[in-house]
Structure 1
Amino acid sequence: MLDDLQDAIAAGVIRVGDRLPSEAALAARYSVSRSVIREVLRASSALGLTVTRTGKGTFVVGRRPSELIFGGYSVGDLLEVRPHIEVPAAGLAALRRTEADLEQIQGLIEHMEAESDPQVWIGLDASFHLAVAEASKNPVFTQVINSIRAALTGQSGMLNDRSRRRRGDSDSEHRSIAAAIARSSVVEAEDAMRFHLDQVHDAVAESLTDDTARPGQRDGPVSAIS
């Protein structure tokens, strides 16, 4: 099915901006279980072909795998991997952070809230996420976040330019993460980071589908996948 989906997108049968049929409709069409459909949609998302918007559906955002690239990684790469790295990193930060870590994290938040230059804010955003990883005291988390820092900056810049999401929303979410870490609450820190990344995911999906949608496009799902 993934090959069929890629071929249909490449051929223009399914256009960038179109919404795919529901999981149930796709499962019926291909005579497979919905779990198989979910795996295919995850794969297409990882390839940068589609993005799923919570409560809205799955939309086509690129005609070729990994079309939208940030720092060498596709948007699908980033959306897929960040929860697996940053959520546990936030939990460990709540357990292992030092007072110096808290000062660093809080200082970045205050700087972001006071910053008027969007480009500076974007750099501080990436620095915040790196500071949380550093506070986890797990060098693997730190190295991973540091290695994708350019990608995080690129994605943040895209959202700053094209998303309706407000910087204040991100600042508030960062404060919630920092407060949970300060309280040494593993569960709250993980939940706060997960919520933040979910909001980023939805904002990326919204900006891509809004950006690629064409005037007069129907709201319903596309009717054919070859």
Structure 2
Amino acid sequence: MSSPAVGARAADGVFDGLREDIVAGRLTVGERLPSEAALAERYGVSRPSVREAIRSLQALGLTRTRTGSGTYVVSDRPALSLGYGDFSPRDLSEARPHIEVPAAGLAAERRTEEQRAELVALCDRMDATIDPEEWVDLDSRFHVLVAVASGNAVFARAVGDIRDALSHQSGVVNLIAHRREPSSREHRAIAEAIGIGSAIEAREAMRAHLGAVERVVSPLSEPASRD
């Protein structure tokens, strides 16, 4: 049986191949995708990996599955939205370093043993899962827990209030840039720094993580406009 990381990479390969075929016009709008079995054979992967790739295509608005009929191409351009509700991508990018970096430092100084163990457990589950939706949920829970562990009610409330926006953006970024594995390593570094009580290392690890996210989000985002 393949490891979770291998399974995730297999789904990414199918997703990339099908997305490129759709965008390039080799699979046209209205055309039905080959069956799961045919795609699994073509890409040399398991059928669950094919299903994950198809879910990702649907999340981008490229395909739609019709019960009993199959999966069809419905658009040749991804319907991307990195904002959520009232929060634009710029809003999140500007605010997060001022909230989550100091929160990580305080968490290193104030976290309880229970919180330390829970952060590690979340990292373990992020490493183990091959379900992209579960990974995104664990990601947002990790960031909320860091803020709570800071012992600062303002930081905890702020991150809690933007949790849905963070989850949405994380899901889109992972589809486009395959950020799950590097992001899991970055979360592990944050948890380890908090675990050993190093505020400096915790702040740097969180700053590095947010910087990596920003480098992906920035070129994908339209400049935010304010009337």
* Corresponding letter in the other structure for 1:205: S
1:99 to 92, 97, 113: 113
Query: Which SS does the other structure have where 2:96 is aligned?
Result: helix
Q: Structure 1 193/114 Cα, relative in aligned 2: closer, same or farther at 3 Å?
A: same
CA distance 1:178–1:112, shift in 2 (3 Å): same
Greater relative contact order (Cα < 8 A, sep 6+): 1
After superposing on structure 2, the runs of 4+ consecutive aligned residues of structure 1 that deviate more than 2 Å are 206-209
Secondary structure at the aligned position of 1:72 is classed as coil
Letter of the 1:190 partner, please give it.
R
Give the aligned residue type for 1:183: I
Q: 1:178 aligns with which of 178, 186, 191?
A: 191
Match in the other structure for 2:98 = 84
CA contact (8 A) 2:89 2:221 kept: no
CA contact (8 A) 2:137 2:167 kept: yes
1:63 corresponds to: none
- The residue aligned with 1:74 is 88
Query: TM-score of the superposition, structure 2-length normalised?
Result: 0.60
Counterparts of 1:12-27 in structure 2 under 5 Å?
A: none
Q: 1:167 aligns with which of 171, 180, 183?
A: 180
**Preserved contact between residue 71 and residue 154 of structure 1 (Cα < 8 Å):** no
Of the three residues 188, 197, 205, the one matched with 2:201 is 188
Q: Are the aligned partners of 1:126 and 1:153 in contact in 2 as well (CA < 8 Å)?
A: yes
> In the alignment, what sits opposite 1:148?
162
Identity, in percent, stands at 48
> What is the number of residues matched between the two proteins?
142
CA distance in 2, matches of 1:181, 1:68: 29
CA distance in 2, matches of 1:202, 1:115: 25
Structure 1, 200-209 or 131-140: larger mean CA deviation: 200-209
Give the equivalent residue in structure 2 for 1:122.
136
Output the CA distance in 1 between the equivalents of 2:106 and 2:82: 32
> Which letter maps to 2:105?
G
Stretches of structure 2 lacking an aligned partner (at least 5 in a row): 1-80, 223-227
Q: 2:216 aligned to 189, 192, 203, which one?
A: 203
Q: 1:96 corresponds to which letter in structure 2?
A: R
**More moved, 198-207 vs 80-89:** 198-207
CA shift for structure 1 position 68? 5.2
Q: TM-score, normalised by structure 1?
A: 0.60
Any conservation in 2 of the 1:93–1:136 contact (CA below 8 Å)? Answer: yes
Quick check: 1:162–1:207 contact (8 Å CA) kept in 2? no
In the alignment, residue 155 of structure 2 is paired with which amino acid? Answer: F
Cα distance between partner residues in 1 of 2:94 and 2:145 = 21
Structure 1 counterpart of 2:36: none
Q: Does the aligned pair in 1 maintain the 2:173–2:179 contact within 8 Å? A: no
Q: CA deviation at 1:158?
A: 1.1
SS in structure 2 of the partner of residue 116 of structure 1? coil
Shift of 1:205: 1.8
One-letter amino acid of the counterpart of residue 193, structure 1: M
Query: Cα offset for 1:109?
Result: 0.6
